[in-house]
Amino acid sequence: MRMSARMEGDFVVFLIGMRINRFRSLRKWLPVARAMVPMIKELRADPAHGLLGCENFVNGRTTLMVQYWRSTDHLIAYAKDRDHSHWPAWKRFFREAYKSEAVGVWHETYVVSGYETVYVNMPAFGLGRAGELVPTNKAGDHAAARLAALG
């Protein structure tokens, strides 16, 4: 079955991850790796934070999490909120791991106003899980039609 994703309005794709630079420095990079779990639990428990969904990937020593957010305002508000998990994790990273260079962290933020998707014989995944899955004939049968609809 061919499906496409539908998301109302603009949204944000936030890519975040880490890279283990020194495997032997477990005490430096393991807390960084573990810090994401409570953040995601916290974000999923309260949709008002604005996280719409996420997917996690590992490629050797580098991790990648693709997150979908309602807006940059939601993303930034969560990052700066001292009463939630991100702020203390970020401070701990700079206090305990930053200078060692045993682990690197990175992120990229994209504000999305147009997109094209297709999922063939797939369960809900990525934007299709964060938003709404619809049959491709409602979104356009081909990538060119879906892209042209962006106008």
Q: List the CATH number of the domain containing 28.
A: 3.30.70.100
Question: Which 8-state DSSP code applies to residue 70?
Answer: S
CB 132 within 8 A of CB 7: yes
Q: Distance (Å, rounded) from C-alpha 68 to C-alpha 85?
A: 18
Question: Which 8-state DSSP code applies to residue 48?
Answer: G
pTM of the model: 0.90
**Would 124 be classed as within a structural domain?**
no
State both tokens at 28.
């430096």
Counting as low any pLDDT under 70, the low residues of the chain are 138-140, 151
Q: Residue 1: what pLDDT?
A: 85
Q: 21 φ, ψ to 5°?
A: -95, -30
Structural domain including 85 reads 6-112
Q: Residue 47: what pLDDT?
A: 96
Q: Residue 138: what pLDDT?
A: 66
Question: Residue holding tokens 């957010």?
Answer: 69
Q: Residue 95: what pLDDT?
A: 82
**Would 141 be classed as within a structural domain?**
no
**Would 61 be classed as within a structural domain?**
yes
Q: Residue 148: what pLDDT?
A: 77
Q: Residue 97: what pLDDT?
A: 78
What domain count does the chain have?
A: 1
Q: Residue 142: how many CB atoms within 10 A of its CB?
A: 11
